[in-house]
Each structure stands twice: as structure tokens, then as C-alpha cells.
Amino acid sequence: MFRGRRKNKDVHIDPDEIFIDSQNLPDFDTFQFEGRMEKPIPVATMIVLASVFGVLMIVLAGKAWALQIKDGEQYAKMSESNMARQTIVFAERGAIYDRNGLRLAWNAVNEEEPDFASRRYIDQEGFAHVLGYLKYPAKDRQGYYYRTSYEGMAGIEQQFNSELQGTHGLKILGVDALGRVDAESTIRPAKDGANLTLSIDAVVEAQLYKSIEALAGKVGFTGGAGAIMDVHTGEVIAITSYPEYKSSVMTEGDDSREISRYLSDSTKPFLNRFLSGLYTPGSIVKPFVALAALEEDVIDPNKVIVSTGSISIPHPYDYTRKTLFMDWKAHGPVTMRDAIAVSSNVYFYVIGGGFEGQKGLGIDRLNQYFSLFGIGQKNVETGFFKGPNGVVPSPSWKERVFPGDPWRIGDTYFTSIGQYGFQVTPLQMLKAVASIANDGLMIEPTILKTSTTSAPVVTTTVPVDQNNLQIIREGMRKTAISGTASGLNLPYVKAAAKTGTAELGVTKAFVNSWVTGFFPYENPKYAFVVIMERGPRANIYGSTLVMRELFEWMHKTDSPYLK
């Protein structure tokens, strides 16, 4: 019956058929959704599901693009590294010692970054400009080193970076897919950097800095610098500059507030005043003017010139008036040795530029002799010791700086006493005064203790008469006994010296205070220079006090440098 109905094209169902089928319904488990009528999924649900799947597909596509295209090369390298990874074996940086074996810079365990050591510096002031600072190796965010070496940024750390650095080694690590090291092999061992022994004596340097700092604080100098050098070997026993930064602060780089203070400080703690500071020299050039006058037969050393406090010449624009050139006091009659000792301006005006019946050197010969002693000249850059040229005034210089204004006799006078546009570095004056002490040898200073293994670097021998040099030395000795440096007249050291007070600015309210010299007088061994920068003119203390305090300290501590 039912088969017959299926073949019938009429699909109309009669009511009696429904009742007949209802009698034959099977048993349904409704809890298993049997016998229930199906409902279609709503369109809104389909839209939501499609949106979710669409977003997921976009995210997956983006990630695939990043993995395959954007960062594909990087991840390929990382994938390769799952099997073998190259790692740097950092060499130990060389330590730095003073001449007596005291550690000035060394290495310590780096708790934050165990791959390489931390740098430590002597915990005393006065060494920053010598030692300098450095930058550590550095990683990117993926843990790979983009700076693989220590990078010296100043001082010894920079100048001798290649010697201190050493050569890094290479190690191969076996790494599984989870990043765990399961094997390692060193294929190139590290070669540690060389240790350096400096020529400086740390205790002398610390004391020199302490005296400079104390005087600056007491009087109001904005800065200062000083050095002591062996006049025969060129070894620098002490060299310091005030103010300074801390090498440890700059190397670690964590104290941003302190670093910002350094950068904004008007006293320029990053300036190495001894090597790079340019200063008006004032009267410390007078011994070289006197020597030039002797060499050129301009004056007999025993001839007397009377200083009444000034000399005058006709005014260049009004001959009814006079132009005065002042001495710092009326010294009365002086010979050359006296003039050096009391620092008579009038005497050096006369022998520098000439006056009345006394002929003078003239600016060309003045420049010639200043050049012979390296004053205002470019330093022979031997390692650590570098600096600017400076300026010795000359007609050509004036034409560049003051075009159309001719050179006058007054310009020669002021150049003869270290004023006008004169600028020198303390380094230049240290070399120059050392050549007076060692019979005219221009020796290049060294910061390394090398005198026992190599000869000093002698750039030239100044062609001057030894008898004339002796006259200059006698004048400088007289300066220390009874002249402007009489503060150095001490029973336990015979020093020879020359002071300088260089006036600054139009009002001349501030000065640079200098002292140069050598000791012991009879058999010179060490030359010294101290500069105190921009202090009040009226104060009674100057750079001579720094050297006096240093000599007193050497005497109390039984220093070998006074023996």
C-alpha cells in the first residue's frame, strides 16, 4: 500500500492517513533530540560566526606575513641557532696602575651582565681627566650584541683603547628548540688586554688636585690645572685639572641627574684644562723674552733700566698726548736678573719693543723665539698629549682679527709681557720651562712609565748659548728667593720659578694666576706649571700657594722627589 502511494504523483495526504501513521510511531528518546523538529540557524548567528572566522583569518594572515616576509630572515637565523649559536667570549680589559703599582682602573664581577666585567676606578679626586671613561658592550632587544667591545671615550681609556681592549674569543653553544644549552665548545680563546703602568704618582697627583681645589674654593677661581714632569725623561709625575667629572659615573651611565649636572655646569668639568685650556700667559713668557734679547745681543744682562712705574710714547692719533704703558709698580733700577725676579713690565717693554736709546727685539724676533720653545705652536701629538695651538700675536694675526688696524709699537710691548691676544696651553709652558731647566732640550712628555725601556722623545735642541740659559735660570732662582714667587723660598727645596698674573677683560677685574719653574735649582730634575683660572684680581693668593703646599706636603711625607 505504501509503495503504491510513493509512486503516485499526488502528494496530498488525507487525514485518515495521519491517524494511521500515528499508531505506528516508534519510541523516541527525546533527551537525545530524537523525534524533535529541526529549526534553521538564524541569519544573525551566521553573520557573527563569519565575522569571527574572518578576523581570525586576518590575524593569522598578518602573523604569517610577519614571520615569512617582515622578520623572516631574523627568524631563519634564530632557527639555525636552535642548533648552534655563536657567543662572544669577552676579553678582560687591561688594568691601569700608577708608577708605584697602585691600581687606578681595574675590573670587577658584573652582577647585572655576567658576560663581561665592570670597570672600577680609584676612589679619589684628581684622576678623571687622566683615566677618562668608557662605554660597555651593549645588546639589542633580541639579546644580540650590537656593540661588542668596550669603547674608550676619554683619557687613557680612549687613547690606549686598543692596548687595553685585548681580543675577544668565540664560543659555540649547542641549543635545543626550547633554548636550553646542551653543549658548548670554545673555538677561539679570548686574549686579555695589556696592563698599563703610568708615569704618574697617584699620591702626588691627589695632593696637587686637593691644593688646586682648596684654593679655588677659598678665593673664587673658576678652575685650575697643574703638572710636574721629569725634565730628562719626559715622564709626567702628576697632571690634573679642576673641576672634573667622576669616571665611574660616566662609565656606568645610570646617574642621569649627575650627568646632566656635568653637562650644564658652567665651570666645564669635561674640559681638560692642562691639555686643552687656552689662557693668556702674562709674565711667565718673560724668561723667554729675556733669553731672546741675550741671544740677539739686544742688551747686556747687567745693564740697568729704571722703572718709574710706566713709560710713555706719543699717541698714534694725537701727538700732543702720550700713551702710557704701565708697570704693576715702580721697581726702580733693575738688571735682567732683577727684572725677571720682580717681573718688571717696563724692563720687558723696553727690550721687547725698544724705547728711547735702547733697541728692542721687535715682533718678528719675539715670535721666532716663542716658536723655538713651542709657545703658541701645535704640540707634537705623541699619544695622550694633544691640544690646541694657541696664539702668539703678530701683524698677520692682527690683520685677520682686526682688519685695517695696523700693528703698532704698543702691540709689541703688550706681547712682550704675555698680554694682548696671547694664548697658550699649560702643556706648552710645561715643555718650554723644562727646556730652560735641561739646557735647551725640547722633550715630549709621556704618560707611560717608559724611561727604563726607551729614550725620551726629543723633538729638537733649541740653539741657544748655555751661558745665556744660566742667566735666565739665575733670574728664576732669584724670583723664588726674593721676587714674586718668594713663597717658594723653602729650606728643604731650592726651586727656580716665574709667576704670571694675566689680566682678563676690559675692566681687568679678573686674572689668571700662573707659576712655572723647576727644582732642584743646582741639578734640575722636575719642571712644574700651575694655572688658576679667572679669579678676582684683588685676592692675595695665587698659584704659588699651590706649589708651596705641595712642597710642604712632600717634605712632611719624605717624598723622593725632594731628594
Q: Is the pLDDT of residue 182 over 90?
A: no
Residue 349: the pLDDT is 97
Residue 2: the pLDDT is 46
C-alpha cell at position 300: 747686556
Question: Does 279 fall in a domain?
Answer: yes
One domain, residues 438 and 479 = yes
Residue 431: the pLDDT is 96
Average pLDDT over residues 300-327: 90
525-534 tens-digit pLDDT: 999 999 999 9
Question: Does 65 fall in a domain?
Answer: no
140-154 tens-digit pLDDT: 887 788 898 999 999
Question: Helix or strand or coil: residue 497?
Answer: strand
Average pLDDT over residues 10-17: 59
Q: Mark which of 163, 197, 231 sits at the end of a domain.
A: 197
Q: Is the pLDDT of residue 490 over 90?
A: yes
In the DSSP assignment, the letter for residue 27 is P
Least confident of 64-73, 188-197, 326-335: 64-73
CB neighbours (10 Å) of residue 258? 13
- Mean pLDDT for the chain overall: 88
Question: Does 76 fall in a domain?
Answer: no
One domain, residues 244 and 325 = yes
Give the helix/strand (H/E) hosting 557.
none
Residue type, 147: R
257-301 tens-digit pLDDT: 999 999 999 999 999 999 999 999 999 999 999 999 999 999 999
Average pLDDT over residues 361-387: 88
Residue 144: the pLDDT is 80
Cβ partners under 8 Å of residue 142, min gap 6: 74
Q: Mark which of 197, 221, 256 sits at the end of a domain.
A: 197
Question: For the residues of 200-242, what is the DSSP string, one character each?
Answer: --HHHHHHHHHHHHHHHHHH--SEEEEEEEETTT-BEEEEEEE
* Number of domains the chain contains: 3
More confident residue, 304 or 25: 304
Q: Which of 312, 306, 313, 301 has its CA nearest to residue 344?
A: 306
Average pLDDT over residues 93-101: 97
One domain, residues 167 and 226 = no
Query: Which region, left, alpha or beta, applies to residue 546 given φ > 0 means left and ψ of -120 to 50 means alpha?
Result: alpha
Question: Does 404 fall in a domain?
Answer: yes
Separation of alpha carbons 210 and 218, rounded Å: 12
Going by pLDDT thresholds of 50, 70 and 90, the confidence category of residue 184 is low
One domain, residues 309 and 443 = yes
One domain, residues 304 and 407 = yes
Q: Is the pLDDT of residue 347 over 90?
A: yes
Residue 5: the pLDDT is 47
Q: Is the pLDDT of residue 40 over 80?
A: no
More confident residue, 458 or 302: 302
Residue 159: the pLDDT is 94
Going by pLDDT thresholds of 50, 70 and 90, the confidence category of residue 364 is very high
Separation of alpha carbons 370 and 394, rounded Å: 12
Separation of alpha carbons 497 and 474, rounded Å: 10
| Whether the Cβ atoms of residue 237 and residue 230 lie closer than 8 Å to each other | yes
Separation of alpha carbons 237 and 291, rounded Å: 28
Q: Mark which of 197, 212, 241 sits at the end of a domain.
A: 197
Question: Does 234 fall in a domain?
Answer: yes
Q: Is the pLDDT of residue 4 over 50?
A: no
371-383 tens-digit pLDDT: 999 998 876 666 7
Residue 201: the pLDDT is 98
Going by pLDDT thresholds of 50, 70 and 90, the confidence category of residue 563 is confident
C-alpha cell at position 530: 700651575
One domain, residues 280 and 215 = yes
Residue 33: the pLDDT is 55
Q: Is the pLDDT of residue 1 over 50?
A: no
Question: Does 69 fall in a domain?
Answer: no
One domain, residues 128 and 191 = yes
Residue 38: the pLDDT is 61
398-421 tens-digit pLDDT: 999 999 999 999 999 999 999 999
Residue 58: the pLDDT is 86
Q: Is the pLDDT of residue 186 over 70?
A: no
One domain, residues 162 and 302 = no
Percent of the chain with pLDDT over 70: 86
Q: Which of 294, 417, 408 has its CA nearest to residue 347?
A: 417
What is the number of residues in the chain? 563
Domain that holds residue 106: 85-197
One domain, residues 181 and 274 = no
One domain, residues 106 and 246 = no
Residue 36: the pLDDT is 58
Percent of the chain with pLDDT over 90: 68
Residue 258: the pLDDT is 96
Question: Does 39 fall in a domain?
Answer: no
- The enclosing domain of 138 has a CATH number of 3.90.1310.10
C-alpha cell at position 179: 633554548
CB neighbours (10 Å) of residue 370? 27
- The enclosing domain of 230 has a CATH number of 3.40.710.10
**Pairing relation of β-strands 223-230 and 526-536?**
antiparallel
C-alpha cell at position 312: 710713555
Average pLDDT over residues 5-27: 55
Cα angle for residues 424, 430, 436 (degrees, 5° grid)? 110
Average pLDDT over residues 194-203: 97
More confident residue, 160 or 21: 160
Average pLDDT over residues 318-344: 93
One domain, residues 397 and 529 = yes
One domain, residues 129 and 189 = yes
98-154 tens-digit pLDDT: 999 999 999 999 888 888 999 999 999 999 999 999 999 998 887 788 898 999 999
Question: Does 80 fall in a domain?
Answer: no
